[in-house]
Chains A and B, each alone.
Chain A
């Protein structure tokens, strides 16, 4: 009896170990000569299939789209990295680019650029392609661009004696006070508590940066001014203090008639509240010394051990073509990243797009730290939110932020 039991238990253990060891062998991503697998964020899956239909027709290569919920990208990446098997192509939000690269998930593209001129840095606005290099290597190609602009309710502003949107952050602060005075539960401006780029944008506008000497450095005069502005808006009572404030509804209902957001908000407003047409607009961020905003968006990369390098590069080039870029804007509303596409006349005839392009021309990428979303950006938000929401001591909290983030390498 004893022997049977121990033998059985030993058998269990052996099976367990064997499964574990077998599991450690890496698997290449995608099958050779099969369909190309592409990871697309959010529910744009169906739209993407529409986009690549011409590619499949032309080359005969099937493209399989997998839509990944925004909230789940971390898990997906981790399990893909752990098992070694991922897609062929994947969409990468810029704030996650470093994390992906650190995981070794992306195929370096430098050696292929010569054969695929459509992917060269010159095709994209100045500095963007270089800014998205990691460790001096090109591991991804810009795909869609995104920026932040000022949204404002022209009707509500006019009703309160403000004829033009604020042209500087100082003006915005004053205007916000006036608008917040409309009554209880009314605000002038909205600061999303999860928006880590906003204080960085403010810092840039005050003529400074949060990077010095290739490392993160928050201890700068411009950042201090940005913190003044950020905390000042809260102190004035101009911004809502609850974390679950709904941006779209807030804007549509007029509770928060000014906010800084991206083109996707414009689409949401147009869809959800067509009756507001003509009563709202967008303009460049108020700025101070500069009117610099965020260059956000997503790049596309190739999974590091895909079996279909050439086919993936071809798809990548197709997606970077002017036609595909313009087509995507039409289908999904995301702005092109390719300069030629951005300058397209039809595109530019849209007044909203004109503002976006203007802003894109003066935009910077967030510093490429190892983990912006999970770490640096998160630390920044925690510090600021602690000050404005719980009344933590400003100097002590900021000092803690400086120590926590000092030395974080960029790029």
Chain B
């Protein structure tokens, strides 16, 4: 009988300390700050800060910019997450077909966007999308199509920004799906082939169900990431034009760092955190119900 020891606690402590210090503590601080009117002079001198209760939350609800950011975020999630899941899954299925050197080389190509820092990405894509001098419009002009305002048209900008994010997000998920596919025993597929099932049928009826957990995992993590969508709209359009690509995270950032309204931004952060938590829990519940037939 093993003595109940401190050992697990010792193992867990370093990681937990860091996660608590840089994850949990900040959100707790934000919760407190969200009940105050802290701004830049308050940050400098805590005596300038006043407790205002739920006033920030009330103001949030009345702020059209908040609702627009929420709407944009929702749109990005609804469009982006399925796109990433489907594309990653599709590419993984195709890549899994062959285990040749060729396929492995191609894997690296697909992973390139995922390893590139956002600053480099903004540079390249900003140039590609540029209306007058960008590569895309130049290619279009060769076939007689007039200039497209990739980043200036309110609706097109949303699409352009989401495209870059999808481009970036598929890399890691392709790897995850490939890994999951490797875990499917060869026998299953061979048995299906013997039974006369074509590759598409095999995929649909055997492989996909077995990928259930992987698909679920990718969906949940991608959803969480896209609810916090920040990098791409920030570097490509700064949330513009006129707020068309402003996500919740950008809204919070601007309130906090450009307008120095830290109390207000903290309230927004709590709201975003709550939304992420609720959606994740819903996804988890759905999955549990699904599996428990």
Contacts and interface: CB of A to CB of B under 8 A. Distances in A.
A4 B260 CA distance: 42
Interface stretch (B75-83, B174-182, B222-230, B236-244): B236-244
Contact of A371 (B17, B20, B146, B260): B260
B280 interface: no
Contacts of A197: none
Nearest to B28: A16
Contacts of A271: none
A156 to B, nearest CB: 16
B241 A12 contact: no
A19 B149 CA distance: 49
Interface in B25-61: 25, 29, 40-41, 43-46
A343 to B, nearest CB: 38
A99 B130 contact: no
B221 interface: no
A285 B218 CA distance: 57
B16 A249 contact: no
Given A16-B25, A374-B259, A242 B40 contact: no
B131 A244 contact: yes
B71 interface: no
Given A8-B9, A16-B21, A78-B40, A375 B259 contact: yes
A246 B133 contact: yes
Interface in B226-254: 237, 240-242, 254
B261 to A, nearest CB: 9
Contact of A4 (B6, B130, B131, B149): B6
A20 B29 contact: yes
A375 B133 CA distance: 31
B6 A12 contact: no
B74 interface: no
A104 interface: yes
Given A242-B152, A245-B132, A374-B260, A99 B40 contact: yes
Given A255-B132, A374-B258, A103 B6 contact: no
A192 to B, nearest CB: 13
Given A242-B132, A242-B152, A382 B44 contact: no
Interface string A74-94: 110110011010000000000
Interface string A234-263: 000000111111100110010100000000
A270 to B, nearest CB: 20
A78 B242 contact: no
Contact of A103 (B41, B133, B149): B41
Contact of B40 (A8, A20, A103, A250): A103
Given A16-B21, A99-B260, A371-B260, A81 B151 contact: no
A331 interface: no
A384 to B, nearest CB: 11
Given A102-B40, A243-B151, A75 B257 contact: yes
Contact of A82 (B43, B130, B133, B240): B43
Contact of B257 (A24, A78, A243): A78
Given A4-B6, A81-B40, A81-B43, A240 B17 contact: no
A14 B154 CA distance: 49
B230 to A, nearest CB: 14
Interface in A192-211: 193
B131 A240 contact: yes
A162 interface: no
A307 to B, nearest CB: 18
B264 interface: no
A102 B241 contact: no
Nearest to A103: B40
Contacts of B46: 24
Contacts of A16: 20-21, 24-25
Interface string A313-354: 000000000000000000000000000000000000000000
Contacts of B152: 241-244, 389
Given A8-B9, A16-B21, A81-B44, A74 B257 contact: yes
A237 B117 CA distance: 38
Contacts of B133: 246, 249, 253
B147 interface: yes
A18 B116 CA distance: 38
Contact of A382 (B154, B242, B258): B242
Given A8-B9, A12-B16, A243 B132 contact: no
Interface string B167-186: 00000000000000000000
A231 interface: no
B25 to A, nearest CB: 5
Contact of A105 (B29, B44, B240): B44
A242 B151 contact: yes
Contact of B242 (A99, A240, A390): A390
Contact of B241 (A374, A375, A378, A389): A389
A15 B29 CA distance: 14
Contacts of B149: 241-242
Contacts of B257: 74-75, 78
A361 interface: no
A10 interface: no
A193 B21 CA distance: 41
B98 interface: no
A185 B147 contact: yes
Interface in A75-126: 75, 77-78, 81-82, 84, 99, 102-105
A373 interface: yes
Given A246-B133, A255-B132, A382-B242, 11 more contacts: A1-B4, A20-B25, A74-B257, A78-B257, A78-B260, A99-B40, A99-B260, A103-B40, A105-B44, A240-B131, A390-B242
21 contacts: A15-B17, A16-B21, A19-B21, A74-B257, A75-B257, A78-B43, A81-B40, A102-B41, A104-B45, A184-B146, A193-B241, A242-B132, A242-B147, A243-B151, A244-B131, A373-B258, A374-B254, A375-B259, A385-B241, A385-B242, A389-B242
| Nearest 6 interchain pairs by C-beta | A242-B152, A242-B131, A374-B258, A103-B40, A243-B152, A74-B257
